[in-house]
Structure 1
């Protein structure tokens, strides 16, 4: 039976008080001289704990934000097969192409992908899935985009655009709007842009529920609500250092190092390493050991701080071409050194922290809520320390925000891939939250020239869990 738990919600009512939707409706009509037939909303997300573990197969604890991607959509009145894209932000150029000639342009080193490429990832992922089931009619469509998720800030702006495109295409082509299927397809679709993510962003985009975070597991994707302590208030602070995962090889190199660590551990424990890709798969399915026991195996077998490419080829008894095909990605094929021990230890220790975090939230009640928040804060602090020291994905701006947070007395950590972007901090009341935000403004943002040209409530704000992706098809009322 179709229910909101399994399928994306299709709303019959649009609130005319929603200013962004009204503005998007009017923009769409101005640009295309026709009315939008439906609207799509996909939220950004903040990951509370569980960073850089989803692509290794371990659970995460994100929640959806109020910031989102909005689309206004209509089928092409010309009955052509052209996708027409317009963005309300003038810095993003308009784009169009045939659905039969979708070309996703990978970014050159040090550059960001064109915004439309993320949209095309979502369209292509759904069309490729439909094509496997047979031929399909060619439907062109018109799309106007409005987004208020800060770009390159670790809040999933790119993935939200991919997911919104996938949901739009699925709805246009009458594909059943199953949340887990759409999350899975969206995750694989984003690989077209060259980023080897693990699926967290797409899962929370579709599976989020208002009022709670989600404990998300993979293979298969499933979500369990996490009730946060009532007085817990999460604050997101943007470091204003932008970091796009597809613009450099940093993110993919971490994925590669985890993959190589998995295969090396499998070989050292006499398991068939060729077909084992993820640390989570090796731990739970192949070795069938507890997380702490797996951590001990990492420390026992991965003894070197740095492994060279030549050394690894010798251990695996393979030539360079096979090593690159089995282990690397196109933008990491020139890498010569790999930090396997550090990356694997972060992943397994972070997976342990996620389980502790969930245990704390599951057992928090009115009598020990303060203690629960203290424990959650401490886990977030340890998570950031590991991301800085073992995963090496922090940034000087992030470290300054963490320093201010520590001096104020709240637990905080980078959220998202890192190398810039945002931190997430946990405060114990609205009053503490307000004082903390004021402190960040005084000690950080007032000293950042670029912050003076931005809306403060868009770069530093308290947040609470929101719903996942939705479709609106009715007239405004």
Structure 2
């Protein structure tokens, strides 16, 4: 629609140019006619150069029109590449095979009828997975990331059924029936009234797969109860059964964000049936989904929910979190002489965001980064250092201090951002200890040398480990789910905290993201055939930082990465937090078949059972969308 309007605008400008020229000619025809005739007579007698000028004078109106068209076409091209997709369109007009292939659609409808007494779905929601091309573990530190939605997804088939009388009385109102195509995941029936009253804290210990859908339910209930101007939600819950079949082709624990896809799809379908999508943008819904995932104890930075909601076909996304959540479409560069594809390979080691102790890995890294930010801020003697929450806060406050007339450090050029990040890398190396910190060392550094004059009672209190940990959480870890539990187990098991290494990864990875985006934008102008080599170099450096500075790789994942590089991938890095899961590689199209055969022979052949989609090519896909039964019924009959 937008591009049709732009084309109409081009035609309008051309017409203006023609009309303007015609009017100008009519008003000055007598004087200009004589002048032009004289000039033309003179020019005809001159050399070839003057003949060209003569022709130019006769056709000057045509050249002006051509110039107008050229300028507007340039504007159209820039708009096509960089303008944002309409942020509000969730219900798609029509259905395409890119959303879901016909065979799978037929299977979904058949399974839905089998699960729900022969009924048919009224609409479906498609929620894609994602891969992060570059920018690992920096979203929760305030830095931009570079993901894309992929063509693997979770589909939700949905129908509504009105209940009254004895049925409603027996069920105590409406219910939510949730089923999964995978038999390993048990079906569950949830009562709406019980969901409304549910203790949110219970989700932290819930083990059933439905906890992500339940988290979506309580999140939607909370926001709708605040927005609703009437009792429509209460009436819906009292009189409506909701039947949902989940049909996913995203491997669980593969690091492709199946949890975010499950939450985002659930949130959208619930908002849709409650008629609450109006006035909500995709970004608004992404923020709601972030809060929902925190109900299950994951201190998400927001990358997964943002790309799942706002993904766009053929475009990666530059997702920013400061000063607010924002996304920008970026066209990935392609080499003319050596085109490439992205290939996702599953290490078959399910990625673990927590270990057996329930503390290390993901949430542990979040806390390490938060503490690194506070310790670094104090070492830099920043004003109000104790209120710093992220490593991005440190950057903003440090460099804002040098710009008295500037209220923020957000609207800066790529060059300035790179300069600031490079400076912070040196400061981390000089001010943070390369040796592991103990919890006691951190507490001593943050509490013993502050500007407060602690009295004797305070000093006695500091000797109590439990009270110290509580003070640490209250002052510096506010807002982080399960922070108290993690801190307690850090002390119990005497875990060492590598603050310098975590900060070095965050700042260097943020720098690589800026460089990667700059590379994409420059290539659109220069068409540099070395672009694949430059992209690959940044992605490979990203992986090494994840492995060495952030310690989030895994033995089986490293083995797979080495096989991929040996098989012809120019780049290969972990994606999706790490600790198992998948790698993403860049493979030139002319080497793709050889690459697949090599990985199959030297990696997957060693396993007795391998999923069919353990290795697949992908390209940027659309974010969450809704399509109605009538849009695809004719394709599956």
TM over 0.5: yes
- CA separation in 1, counterparts of 2:397 and 2:362? 26
Partner of 2:550: 391
Match of 1:182, SS state, is: helix
> How far off its partner does 1:466 sit?
0.7
- CA separation in 2, counterparts of 1:236 and 1:67? 11
- 1:16-55 aligned at under 5 Å gives the runs 18-33=102-117, 34-55=119-140
Partner of 2:342: 234
- CA separation in 1, counterparts of 2:441 and 2:150? 45
The answer as to 2:472 corresponding to 1:323 is yes
Match of 2:332, SS state, is: coil
Partner of 2:6: none
Contact kept in structure 2, 1:11 and 1:474, CA below 8 Å: no
C-alpha spacing 1:169/1:13, structure 2 compared with 1 (3 Å): same
C-alpha spacing 1:47/1:150, structure 2 compared with 1 (3 Å): same
- CA separation in 2, counterparts of 1:161 and 1:320? 35
- CA separation in 2, counterparts of 1:408 and 1:4? 37
Query: Quick one: higher RCO (CA 8 Å, sep 6+), 1 or 2?
Result: 1
- CA separation in 1, counterparts of 2:252 and 2:148? 18
- CA separation in 2, counterparts of 1:64 and 1:198? 17
Number of equivalences: 469
The normalised TM-score by structure 1 is: 0.92
Partner of 1:5: 86
> How far off its partner does 1:275 sit?
2.7
Q: 2:362 aligns with which of 251, 262, 269?
A: 251
- CA separation in 2, counterparts of 1:366 and 1:462? 27
- 1:242-281 aligned at under 5 Å gives the runs 242-245=350-353, 248-249=358-359, 250-270=361-381, 271-281=383-393
Stretches of structure 2 that go unaligned for 5 or more consecutive residues are: 3-83, 165-172, 401-408, 410-419, 448-461, 463-467
C-alpha spacing 1:78/1:338, structure 2 compared with 1 (3 Å): same
- CA separation in 2, counterparts of 1:30 and 1:77? 20
Stretches of structure 1 that go unaligned for 5 or more consecutive residues are: none
C-alpha spacing 1:408/1:308, structure 2 compared with 1 (3 Å): same
Match of 2:586, SS state, is: strand
Q: 124-133 or 38-47: which moved more?
A: 124-133
> How far off its partner does 1:213 sit?
0.9
Match of 1:425, SS state, is: strand
The answer as to 2:394 corresponding to 1:282 is yes
Q: 133-142 or 261-270: which moved more?
A: 133-142
Match of 2:271, SS state, is: helix
Greater per-residue strand proportion:
1
Partner of 2:222: 128
> How far off its partner does 1:246 sit?
5.6
Deviations 1:402-446 (A, max 9, x none): 212333442110001111000001123x22222212211111111
- 1:1-400 aligned at under 5 Å gives the runs 5-14=86-95, 18-33=102-117, 34-78=119-163, 80-102=173-195, 103=198, 105-106=202-203, 113-133=207-227, 136-137=233-234, 138-139=236-237, 140-175=241-276, 176=278, 177-219=280-322, 220-230=324-334, 231-245=339-353, 248-249=358-359, 250-270=361-381, 271-285=383-397, 287-288=399-400, 290-317=420-447, 319-325=468-474, 326-327=476-477, 329-333=483-487, 334-336=489-491, 337-365=496-524, 368-400=527-559
> How far off its partner does 1:367 sit?
6.2
> How far off its partner does 1:363 sit?
1.2
> How far off its partner does 1:300 sit?
2.2
The answer as to 2:627 corresponding to 1:472 is yes
Contact kept in structure 1, 2:123 and 2:626, CA below 8 Å: yes
Contact kept in structure 2, 1:433 and 1:462, CA below 8 Å: no
- CA separation in 2, counterparts of 1:158 and 1:306? 32
Contact kept in structure 2, 1:298 and 1:341, CA below 8 Å: yes
> How far off its partner does 1:201 sit?
0.6
Partner of 2:56: none
Contact kept in structure 2, 1:205 and 1:468, CA below 8 Å: yes
C-alpha spacing 1:445/1:366, structure 2 compared with 1 (3 Å): farther
Match of 2:210, SS state, is: helix
What RMSD, in angstroms, separates the aligned Cα atoms of the two structures?
2.3
Greater per-residue helix proportion:
2
> How far off its partner does 1:113 sit?
3.3
The normalised TM-score by structure 2 is: 0.70
C-alpha spacing 1:330/1:24, structure 2 compared with 1 (3 Å): farther
Q: 331-340 or 342-351: which moved more?
A: 331-340
Contact kept in structure 2, 1:49 and 1:60, CA below 8 Å: yes
Contact kept in structure 1, 2:124 and 2:155, CA below 8 Å: yes
